[in-house]
Amino acid sequence: MASKIFGGANLSDIARSTRERPDGLAIAAEKASPGRPVMAAAELALTGRVVPALERENIFSVEPRRCRPWAYHNRGAVWYTRDRCQDLIESIAKDGQQEPAVARKLVGDPSFDYELIYGMRRRFACEFLNAKLKLRVIEADDARAAVLMHIENADRQDITPMERALSFQSQLEAKIFPTQEALSDAIGLTKGQVSKLVKAATLMRQGTISQLFPDKSTVPVDATYKLATLWDRPGAKEVILKAAQNLLQKERAGRSAADLLKALLSSLDRSKKFDPVQKQYNLGTAGRVIVTRNARGKVTLAFPQGLGGIGTSDVVAAVEQIVKDLT
């Protein structure tokens, strides 16, 4: 499906012109050189041509306020502030908008004329500067839009893995892609990478946990995935949700997303219950050891007759048996 959705180029062509970043996401290999503007990967996917920006066609200047985000856009509202867009505001004020946003034409919406597949930060910056927004208008179904957005954002350091994960999860939920395998084929990630991202994103949609992380862009995927793999164990869901509720009721100012996830993970360790044990073991033919384990798992060894005259091998054998019995 994905290999033929680009005008004049297919996904394998784009893949050959990209390199792999450590997090497994492809980024454009092309570097800027004097007199030669860099073409964004998504622009190459759209046109199938490597040409300077000024030669590109079908670029329109529109009112930013007449553009809304695509429903499956992978940036959250937390991005659209002056602080987070300051770099782009300064760049556009100085040099103008270098790359167009990409949009679909809307029909029948009295509030908006266009739906932005990508370029929402550009929209914010242009609206802030009271400038027109440059955009390319295309015809694209949701699957094509998802791939173009992924390619455009793959080389952007400010798009976090969790934002991609939430975007992928919502696209699968909406049946834009019928399966995780279809999604992985379309965007050029492995099935394992997609599965991990989607599993982490699914946990972030749980009510209490979602409330705990109002800015999900900062939530690390690896720790979330680890917590998600424990979620389905017997009794784990209740323990995690209770811990999340307790954290919501406490002062969370200054605690990072990673710290909050660590607290949720440690709640499972604190919840473990152990059956109390008191048992006697022989030490050779003359000695004995009494083993006690309390409900929190603390184990105590007592040697009522001491260790005098007890061989080392007898002690080692007894301890090995105790460990075997208690684990």
Residue 304 has pLDDT above 70, yes or no: yes
Are 195 and 224 in the same domain? yes
pLDDT digits (tens, 9 = 90+) for 15-62: 444 333 333 333 333 333 333 333 344 554 554 443 333 334 578 999
Residue with tokens 């996904």: 11
Q: Which of 29-33, 246-250, 275-279, 288-292 has the lowest mean pLDDT?
A: 29-33
Are 89 and 130 in the same domain? yes
Residue with tokens 């909406």: 174
DSSP state at residue 117: E
Are 208 and 313 in the same domain? no
Are 135 and 230 in the same domain? no
Is residue 85 within a helix (H) or strand (E), and if so which, with residue range?
helix 82-95
Are 12 and 111 in the same domain? yes
- Which value, to the nearest 10 degrees, does the dihedral of the CA atoms of residues 80, 84, 85, 86 take? 140
Can you give the pLDDT at residue 190? 93
Total domain count for the chain?
3
pLDDT band for position 209 (cuts 50, 70, 90)? very high
* pLDDT, the chain, mean: 80
Contacts 24+ apart (CB under 8 A), 140-145: 140/104, 142/72, 142/171, 142/174, 142/176, 143/1, 143/2, 143/5, 143/176, 143/177, 143/186, 144/5, 145/70, 145/72, 145/104, 145/117
Can you give the pLDDT at residue 178? 94
Can you give the pLDDT at residue 49? 43
Can you give the pLDDT at residue 262? 93
Residue 219 has pLDDT above 50, yes or no: yes
DSSP state at residue 33: B
Segment 171-175 mean pLDDT: 93
Cα gap 13→263, rounded to integer Å: 45
Pairing between β-strand 67-69 and β-strand 114-118 as defined by DSSP bridges: parallel
pLDDT digits (tens, 9 = 90+) for 108-162: 999 999 999 999 889 999 999 999 999 999 999 999 999 998 888 776 666 789 9
- What are the start-end ranges of the H helices in 106-190? 120-128, 142-153, 161-173, 180-187
Can you give the pLDDT at residue 21? 35
Last residue of a domain, one of 158, 187, 209: 158
Cα gap 38→51, rounded to integer Å: 9
Are 143 and 173 in the same domain? no
Range of the domain at 314: 277-326
pLDDT digits (tens, 9 = 90+) for 228-238: 999 988 788 99
Collapse the DSSP code of 105 into the 3-class scheme (helix H, G, I; strand E, B; otherwise coil) and give the result. strand
Last residue of a domain, one of 127, 158, 189: 158
Cα gap 268→236, rounded to integer Å: 7
Are 136 and 229 in the same domain? no
What is the CATH number for 133?
A: 3.90.1530.10
Last residue of a domain, one of 158, 175, 205: 158
Q: Which of 149, 139, 102, 186 is nearest to 7 (CA)?
A: 139
Are 47 and 127 in the same domain? yes
Residues ≥6 apart with Cβ < 8 Å to 236: 230, 268
What is the CATH number for 185?
A: 1.10.10.2830
Are 83 and 106 in the same domain? yes
Residue 317 has pLDDT above 90, yes or no: no
Are 239 and 316 in the same domain? no
Are 84 and 62 in the same domain? yes
Cβ atoms within 10 Å, residue 261: 21
pLDDT band for position 92 (cuts 50, 70, 90)? very high
Are 136 and 29 in the same domain? yes
Q: Which of 233, 163, 255, 234 is nearest to 244 (CA)?
A: 255
